[in-house]
Amino acid sequence: MTCEGLFSTDRHKIVSVHGMMSNEVLARMRRQWSINGRFVTQSITGVQRYAQWIVWALDRLLCEGHPLVRGLELRLLVPPDATDHLGLRAIRMKSVGSVNGHLWEQIELPRHAGGGLLSLCNTGPIIARKHIVCIHDLNTRSFPSSYSVPFRALYRMLQPALGRRATRIATVSQFSADEIVRYSVCPRNRIIVIPNGHEHTKQWTPHHCAATRAAAGPSTIVIVGNTAPHKNVRLILDLAGRLDQAGLRIAVVGVCDSRVFAADAAAPMGHNIAWLGRLSDSELAALLNHCLCLAYPSFVEGFGLPPLEAMALGCPVVASDRASLPEVCGNAALYASPNDPDAWMAQFVRLSQDQELRTRMVAQGRGRASMFRWIGSAELYLQAMAEADGLPECRRASGSAGAS
């Protein structure tokens, strides 16, 4: 089932579960779940963004008294070096343990996580039993050259172990679910697709810095991502000369973490290429609000949050026709093969010369992005948690889902 299909069918099942489940049953059950808060101490990428906004949505549903939160206590357990910047109202953040990093996650976290545990960022303690883990992608398997040897070795050991022991494996797209099955990390009947949302972009207030103001404009193609090989940024950069002849330029946003990614060869330079580094959300919003399009030429992605963010902000997207990207963007993007620079060049020129097409893509993109909601994804986590707690109504609903 695609992400689109997920929100047109599975969320209706959740509503039916609400109707079946008595408030008295939920009120009598005191359920305790902890959230793996290691992400609070990490730099923000799409994975950490996912965790932050799923927790935000769970907190909102708790405050609103959603039927599936009755009797549920949720805590966010964090390492000792964490700072509270999430502004949660109903979920209590608690610092536990005396170490950090993987050691904290594997040893300290399970000692303090009574009841169930929710891990949202690819990893979690192997010894935890009632455990829901979100594995965003298997890119270390499908594109190993993008990752450092230590990182690759860790994930190749850790993810299959979690797949065997966790109660459920969540992932962010049907493509990633298929990859998890293909590499025998977890059987399909224990996988649930819970995608990203778009609501966080509504909190971004566009504000240029000097660098984005200089780079922005109707002829600017924005690339968001690091220089890891699977991101395929070089395909666009190698078009710089031809783009210059067409009156187009490139703005590159992002940095490469050498502890995780294996960077590509030396980055090409050109007078029509602006290297902007890491931007704030406000600066990125300002750039995406004033450019030709976002280009996303990846060979593989677990989801592809930047295209969703761009569409939500009214920025047209030209995306790779591989992996999860058609699933996320639907008919709201232009596509090209990540192996065909001529196709990318043609799409950029087409978009720059056809204002009617661009206007149509802006409208379609906003509509497409609105289908992906953090609140809807948080509801799916609540249902998975209720199933793990053995609520019989949830088990019946889950068992009927495969027949739809």
Dihedral over alpha carbons 11, 315, 350, 278 (to 10 degrees): -110
- Based on the fold, state whether residues 290 and 178 are members of the same structural domain: no
- Based on the fold, state whether residues 160 and 180 are members of the same structural domain: yes
**Overall number of domains in the chain:** 2
Whole-angstrom distance, CA of residue 61 vs CA of residue 68: 9
- Which pTM does this prediction carry? 0.89
- Based on the fold, state whether residues 62 and 127 are members of the same structural domain: yes
- Based on the fold, state whether residues 204 and 193 are members of the same structural domain: no
- Based on the fold, state whether residues 70 and 156 are members of the same structural domain: yes
Q: What is the mean pLDDT of residues 324-351?
A: 98
pLDDT tens by residue, 15-73: 444 444 555 554 556 899 999 999 999 988 899 999 999 999 999 999 999 999 989 99
CATH of the domain at 221: 3.40.50.2000
- Based on the fold, state whether residues 183 and 254 are members of the same structural domain: no
260, 231, 232, 230: which is closest to 149 by C-alpha? 260
- Based on the fold, state whether residues 267 and 327 are members of the same structural domain: yes
- Based on the fold, state whether residues 316 and 394 are members of the same structural domain: no
- Based on the fold, state whether residues 77 and 65 are members of the same structural domain: yes
Whole-angstrom distance, CA of residue 94 vs CA of residue 72: 17
- Based on the fold, state whether residues 388 and 353 are members of the same structural domain: no
pLDDT tens by residue, 89-146: 999 999 999 999 999 999 999 999 989 999 999 999 999 989 999 999 999 999 999 9
Residue 48: which domain range? 3-197+373-401
Average pLDDT, the chain: 89
- Based on the fold, state whether residues 384 and 278 are members of the same structural domain: no
- Based on the fold, state whether residues 213 and 335 are members of the same structural domain: yes
pLDDT of residue 164: 96
